[in-house]
Structure 1
């Protein structure tokens, strides 16, 4: 690995963790020596990269540090393109278009030597979603998720019975054959997962739900160990 690439990778390793990392841990991940890591971190500090810590105690990258955009490795490019391919084949039309635009932007921005990783990737995702089409306006739904607003949903279960409930949408999950909308359901007073192809109608309300969005998401994540029930 070139030294310039190694310096970049040290920053990447430190960016993804909230706890101090020792030189031993960094050296093990980058397959180099601890002494090399000490030298490289000293170089980065000399270049005003805000790394805090010392030998034996561990290092952490302080918040607020930004890097030039699209300094991507070949593996990062492959990962981004593979993810974008999957979105193009599985998500709603707005996200599929955004994914196509993302690939084009990456191809236009990376150095010429890395362009084959964008245009001729070694990995491919299935091009077409094989499940039922969304019965929801997913652009509106994503906007309400980000805004923390309620949705009035008319939902049809597997027996064909319709019910109306107010939900607090949290996230959309993309499975192989169905898409699930995770939400807090006021009718059930619990978290529920709704198949998007079984939604009959949805009214996107201006009313925000009373709980802070990040708190609700934290509570929801804790339920994932046992998987919240689906309103079949």
Structure 2
């Protein structure tokens, strides 16, 4: 691997970790020695990268530093194409338009010899037939996430009736053909997963929840209510009706 490619990979690792990461972790992920990591960090700092280094703690890359274009690999471009196709077919029109714009911006800065990979027609992501609820407007839920707005949702219950709940949306879920929203339920004072199939109505509330959404996500992931932390997956309706 060339030195320029190694420096670029190190930057990508620092960006991926976002917070402070130890030199030992950087060395392991880069496949180089700790001494090389220290030397490469000094090189990047000399190039203008805002990397804070603290002995015995690690390194953190402050946002805002952009290297001159080094180009994507062909596989990275293929991954972007497949991801863009999935977003365009599986989400809402606003996100489909956004991903199309993003690819156009990337194409504008690519080296000419790499543009063919971005226009590759080797992949096809087909549409998926799924249940579509009138109460699950993805754009509305994404607005709630961005603005940390509470939502008033109406869901079917186990008796076939409906129940109205106030939730703090913190994450959207895409599981195969199923869509869901995870959030803090004020009525039950716990985190819940609400599936599209059972949501018959939703609207933004005026109030915003004051807790930070990212903090709430971390708390949910650390709790027993998080699906990966427990065999219990909470549904708003009887699981036998899935």
User: In which range does the TM-score fall when normalised by the shorter chain?
Assistant: 0.7 to 0.9
Cα distance change of structure 1 residues 197 and 125 upon mapping to structure 2, 3 Å threshold: farther
Which residue of the partner structure matches residue 77 of structure 1?
A: 77
1:43 correspondence with 2:43: yes
Matched-pair contact (CA < 8 Å) for 2:78–2:120: no
User: What stretches of structure 1 of length at least 5 have no aligned partner?
Assistant: none
Please give the TM-score of this superposition, normalised by the length of structure 2. 0.78
For residues 67-107 of structure 1, what are the alpha-carbon distances to aligned partners after superposition, in whole Å with 9 as ceiling and x for unaligned? 14865521432332222221112112221222222223222
Question: Aligned to 1:126, what secondary structure does the other structure show?
Answer: coil
Which residue of the partner structure matches residue 127 of structure 1?
A: 126
Matched-pair contact (CA < 8 Å) for 2:49–2:65: no
After TM superposition, list the pairs within 5 Å mapping 1:62-211 onto structure 2.
62-68=61-67, 71-74=70-73, 75-120=75-120, 124=123, 126-135=125-134, 136-157=136-157, 160-211=160-211
User: What stretches of structure 2 of length at least 5 have no aligned partner?
Assistant: 238-242
Instruction: Indicate the larger mover: 162-171 or 65-74.
Output: 65-74
Across the two proteins, how many residue pairs are aligned to each other?
Answer: 228
For residues 137-167 of structure 1, what are the alpha-carbon distances to aligned partners after superposition, in whole Å with 9 as ceiling and x for unaligned? 2212211122121111111246632211112
Please give the TM-score of this superposition, normalised by the length of structure 1. 0.81
Instruction: Indicate the larger mover: 194-203 or 153-162.
Output: 153-162
Q: Distance in 2 between matches of 1:118 and 1:57?
A: 42
Moved >6 Å (runs of 4+): none
Matched-pair contact (CA < 8 Å) for 1:107–1:119: no
Which residue of the partner structure matches residue 21 of structure 2?
A: 19
Matched-pair contact (CA < 8 Å) for 1:27–1:33: yes
Matched-pair contact (CA < 8 Å) for 2:23–2:37: no
1:231 correspondence with 2:236: yes
For residues 93-124 of structure 1, what are the alpha-carbon distances to aligned partners after superposition, in whole Å with 9 as ceiling and x for unaligned? 221222222223222321112212211166x4
Matched-pair contact (CA < 8 Å) for 2:92–2:138: yes
Question: Aligned to 1:16, what secondary structure does the other structure show?
Answer: helix
**1:131 deviation in Å?**
1.2
Q: Distance in 2 between matches of 1:148 and 1:175?
A: 23
Q: Distance in 2 between matches of 1:63 and 1:81?
A: 28
Q: Distance in 1 between matches of 2:31 and 2:216?
A: 40
- Over the aligned positions, Cα root-mean-square deviation in angstroms equals 3.0
